[in-house]
Amino acid sequence: MLTRLSALHPKTIDLSLDRMQRLLTQLDHPERQLPPVIHVAGTNGKGSTIAYLRAILEAAGLRVHVFTSPHLVRINESIRLGGVLVGDDELLATLTHCESVNKGEPITLFEIETAAALTLFAKHPADVVLLEVGLGGRLDATNVIDTPIACVITPIGIDHTDFLGDSLIKIAAEKAGIIKRRVPVMVAEQLPETTAVIEQQARKLLAPLHSTGQEWHVNVERGRLVYQDDRGLMDLAAPRLFGRHQFDNAGLAIATLRALDMFKIDATAYEAGVARAEWPARMQRLTSGKLVEIAPQNSEIWLDGGHNADGGRVVAAALGDLEERVSRPLVAIVGMMANKDAAGFLANFAGLTRHIIAVQVPDRASAMAPDVLADAARGLGMRVEISASVAAALESLTKLAYEVPPRILITGSLYLAGHVLAENGTPPT
């Protein structure tokens, strides 16, 4: 069915709200019949921030709908109804209904997926909807909610320049396009030029602005998350998700919920949510499965879908923390899409490893050729080889002599991460 739906528009991505607004009108405006919506945009950290929001809200006993993208293994992952992945039958029926109502008019696959999610959210009662922007913000298919209860902007960096513009200022303007009149805006730490764009848009729309480092602060003390704002201080357990950046993502989620009077959440729920939140393919440790069995015995395998320079930076920082705890030789198995900055991404790992294995992202026509990726690695002085697949790369490592079992990072693309989870037999649930 997805193949048929994909054929409804000649392009995979065509940023516009016209088609979406037409279809929603034909569907009797499900976007106007939703529970309160928290809308999340940004370049990196959107999914993790939503994971913390969901975990905290559910720990407080609230029913939460979630729409995220892209899915890693199955399209069902994109839509959670009351905390549970939408079932095959209900998803198929809803997509079929949206297709029928659309009557063959041009529409992208992501737009019809978004319409299906909104239709399902309007049908099932809940306390809150968490809605992740797919690409950009201003013209994204999710930007059809007139009055969300909060707009959240995670760190903005250079990515998708072919759609959002070739400068940080242009990209920030697209992301800030989710800001709505008089709706509070929660903003993660940004570069100065990005902050200026967001502040200007917030002022224009009289939207109260809440920024990290000003309205709230997050620190790491004795391995715990210490959060402080004008309402007080909370000393919480460390996030289950690994990496210093996850403390910041958790802080952004906490700040968002504390800024909304409609939710009465106590410290116990914040602690439980931060400690329980899960988000696959973000510094995810693979401890079992078919691929793990192929790898060198007792090696560590980490999976991360980072694919831009900023994403690579936070992953490299997390690996640096791991190296300080337990030193191991690091090998990076990398596959990327052709439109990504391979050198900018790989440069983050130059001080951590010189061993790169380039692979092709399977089943993606727009994947970067491994020799192109290898050339980028060589340009950084890295030792690089090319392997036919992730499985072949892992098997090749068993033939090397390591004094200490290696730490293996599989990274470069969410599409690659999804393939790895499927092949490993550990898809998201």
286: left (phi over 0), alpha (psi -120 to 50) or beta: beta
Contacts of 401 by beta carbon, 8 Å cutoff, 6+ apart:
none
What is the rounded average pLDDT of the residues 7-14?
Answer: 87
| Res 429: pLDDT | 87
Cα torsion through 192, 196, 198, 201, rounded to 10 = 180
List, for residues 216-242, the tens digit of each pLDDT value.
999 999 999 999 999 999 999 999 999
| Res 167: pLDDT | 96
pLDDT band at 5 (very low <50, low <70, confident <90, very high): confident
Write down the residue that tokens 């319409």 correspond to.
115
Burial of 224 (0-12, 13-18, 19+ CB in 10 A): middle
Please say if the pLDDT value at position 134 is more than 90. yes
Please say if the pLDDT value at position 277 is more than 90. yes
pLDDT band at 161 (very low <50, low <70, confident <90, very high): confident
Q: Calculate the average pLDDT of the chain.
A: 96
List, for residues 63-101, the tens digit of each pLDDT value.
999 999 999 999 999 999 999 999 999 999 999 999 999
Domains located in the chain, CATH noted: 2-276 (3.40.1190.10), 284-424 (3.90.190.20)
pLDDT band at 335 (very low <50, low <70, confident <90, very high): very high
| Res 417: pLDDT | 98
Q: What percent of the chain has pLDDT over 90?
A: 93
| Res 70: pLDDT | 93
| Res 382: pLDDT | 94
What is the rounded average pLDDT of the residues 356-385?
Answer: 96
Give the residue among 133, 110, 137 at the shortest CA–CA distance from 13.
Answer: 110
Tell me which amino acid residue 121 is.
Answer: F
What is the C-alpha to C-alpha distance for residues 45 and 363, in angstroms, rounded to an integer?
Answer: 26
Give the residue among 280, 287, 245, 290 at the shortest CA–CA distance from 408.
Answer: 287
Please say if the pLDDT value at position 4 is more than 90. no
pLDDT band at 404 (very low <50, low <70, confident <90, very high): very high
9: left (phi over 0), alpha (psi -120 to 50) or beta: beta
259 three-class SS: coil
Report pTM. 0.94
List, for residues 352-364, the tens digit of each pLDDT value.
998 999 999 999 9
pLDDT band at 307 (very low <50, low <70, confident <90, very high): very high
Contacts of 358 by beta carbon, 8 Å cutoff, 6+ apart:
334, 335, 370, 371, 373, 374, 377, 384, 385, 386, 387
Contacts of 233 by beta carbon, 8 Å cutoff, 6+ apart:
226, 227
| Res 8: pLDDT | 86
Please say if the pLDDT value at position 6 is more than 90. no
